[in-house]
Amino acid sequence: MAVVEYDGTDYAGFQIQKNKRTIQGEIERALTKVTQEEIRIVGAGRTDAGVHARGQVIAFRTTWRRSLEELQRALNAVLPRDIAVRELTPAAEDFHPRFGALSREYRYTI
């Protein structure tokens, strides 16, 4: 499980969309580059184009054998500057970030 934050200004939203730059696409690309395995992530929710997040929870499976701190550093080194992994922790096999969320908080600023 990871907690990520991002500035969504230059993205077409969180979820992968064909021929568009998305947060999910960038994170999956970074995970694949760092781990050398094809990884798909699941997010706690989806944000629209231009929307930012400070604590988006994502989950993924990997065979990574080194420390989570090393994985976090490596991901942050290859992710675009407007996306960051803030926390990485092991999760139960059946953890699902969307269905396991106890609460969500949104702030709308105009």
Q: Which are the catalytic amino acids? A: 48
DSSP states of the chain: -EEEEE-GGGSS-SS--TTS--HHHHHHHHHHHHHSS----EES----TT--EEEEEEE------S-HHHHHHHHHHHS-TTEEEEEE----TT--TTTT-S--------
